[in-house]
A and B are shown apart, each in its own frame.
Chain A
Amino acid sequence: MKITTARDALFAQLQTVTRAASTRSAVQALSGVQLLASKDGIELRATDMEIGLRVPLEGEVVREGSIVLPARLAVDVIRALPGKEVSLELRPVEQDVEILGGSASFYIRTLRLEDFPPFPEVEGDVVEVPGDAFVQTVNKVARSASRDETRPVLTGILVSATADELRMVATDSYRLSVKETKLSEPLAGAFEANVPARALQELTRIVQHESADILSVSVRANQVVFSAGGVVLSSRLIDGQFPNYRQLLPDTYEHELRLEGGEVTEVVRRISLLAQKNAPLRLAFTEGELTVSARTPDVGEARETIPVPFAGDPLEIGFNPEFLRDGLEAVDGDVIIKLISPLRPGLLEAGDGSGFQYLLMPIRLNV
């Protein structure tokens, strides 16, 4: 195998693909990047067996073949190379790759090609989804996905695409995000899959980086393959029953307030500075006012009052400050806050009818 390419292009694509390389696998080849040179072109591949990335590379194929290079080292070497052009050539006898750039030459031992797994192709029923709608929807809900591996089903985002709607749901059991995005044109197909949040967050970077208008999605029994602007991301799907989120959303609420989202978000951000060490953020609603306060023993306390259209009996409710902030930050413009009681979940809803809902469980307030 021998290729020549632009150093900057190789560096950029290596940086992208390396994000999927494993950092802690017992299989050494998974910490590498596969470089595949064929008559169809050059492709870089990496996988940690949960997600896989395939990235095209512009360049000239002098001799076809395939190698696996240690990913981190390859990035460092290509970044440091002088000159604009770089050539990579496999030396089978030495079991290394000669990398030439400017006046520098490197010889890097290759990893076992046989240990590198095959990659799935985009095939079968492919649904094309607008890239920007997909990215925006992921970004609204991703923070609610759990990072607790003991409940793997919650580490995913439930993605459903039907007709003219793209819906994503994520929950870590303390909060639930739902985003229903109306599409300008109906989709040619439909799918539903619980995709690891990490894979979708990686996908949003790729779609934005590639400025991809269209995202192709192919869902199989236990795997999903996305294709955006020449980059292919594959991911395993998460097994298990995703919670029935519709049942979790209360039918009625005692209070409903429309607030200017930016203002209340800023107040929550400020007062949260004094909600440390698991201290709750307190929201005290009284006639026409909301007082946000926090107190951390041995550190201090803070409070701020803003006018709000609240009426009825006073209500004080506590929330995890980070979770509340996440919900508020996901809302553009006005936010509608719906509450029932101090121990029942509260709902944040986008006031612009954009289909975003954020259900948040409160924290018990001792006093």
Chain B
Amino acid sequence: MRLIVARCSVAYTGRLTAHLPEALRLIMLKADGSVLVHADAGGYKPLNWMTPPTAVIEEGETITVRKVKGEDQLEITLHEVLSDVTHTMDFDAARLSKDGVEADLQVALADAPHWCGEGFRLVRREWPTDIGPVDLMCRDEADGWIAVEIKRIGTIEAVEQLSRYLERIRLDPAKADCRGVLAATIVKPQARVLAESRGLTWVEVDLAVLRGEREPALTLFG
């Protein structure tokens, strides 16, 4: 990665035209062809940027970044360079591990499906339908089928998705009465209303409790 701290001006042409007047900025040229122009304010977003694939041409005090496909062009004019360094970065795109994502919830709920409903037992994770897999397929004490869709945040879109899965699953006469449960760490109020209006159940789950990292709230009965 090349990092240039320079007093520069930037002209963008393409779908629109934009001009950044001369000021001290950080220019990042990444090995993958990304180019970003940052100021020391305005949050994490760059002032100007170009996503790869790009062609970078350096001529004298001008760095021209062109989109390989399309007309977009970024022309950076360096008026005074304060620092220009290049570092080789480790390749670690796959190393970012997020906790509490859907996959973690799915694993935890697959181990303890009773958190999705009383008496639930897991039949299969990633139960296939012809429009994609539903996260968990369970059966209840009466051997009824239940499709469980798992999300970190339960939104209206999640309810729609579960509804679509159920529509496909219920085509099988043996699963015509299949119920649906939306399980999420937070279920948005609109999603609750929509789910209830469609006869679906929603349940909020706590990953820390599921993993046994935190004691569940004390209750009078199970």
Contact = CB atoms under 8 A, between A and B. Distances in A.
Nearest to A25: B197
A279 to B, nearest CB: 13
Interface residues of A, number: 20
Nearest to A362: B218
Given A150-B117, A150-B201, A248 B221 contact: yes
> Which residue, A25, A175, A364, has most C-beta atoms of chain B within 10 A?
A364
Given A24-B193, A24-B197, A364-B215, A173 B220 contact: yes
A243 B222 CA distance: 10
Interface residues of B, number: 14
B165 interface: no
Interface in B169-216: 193, 196-197, 201-203, 215
Contact of A174 (B193, B201, B219): B219
A205 to B, nearest CB: 23
Contacts of A24: 193, 197
Interface in B102-125: 117-118
B220 A359 contact: yes
A174 B197 contact: no
A163 interface: no
Main secondary structure of the interface of B (DSSP, over half): loop
Contacts of B85: none
A100 interface: no
Interface string A328-367: 0000000000000001010000000000000101111000
B218 A361 contact: yes
Contact of B220 (A25, A26, A361): A361
B217 interface: yes
A343 B218 contact: yes
Interface of A: 24-26, 149-151, 171, 173-176, 243, 248, 343, 345, 359, 361-364
Interface of B: 117-118, 193, 196-197, 201-203, 215, 217-221
17 contacts: A24-B197, A26-B197, A149-B196, A149-B201, A149-B202, A150-B117, A173-B220, A174-B220, A175-B220, A243-B221, A248-B220, A248-B221, A343-B218, A361-B218, A361-B219, A363-B217, A364-B215
Going nearest first, the 9 A-B pairs with the smallest beta carbon separation are A173-B219, A361-B218, A24-B197, A150-B203, A248-B220, A361-B220, A150-B201, A243-B221, A173-B220
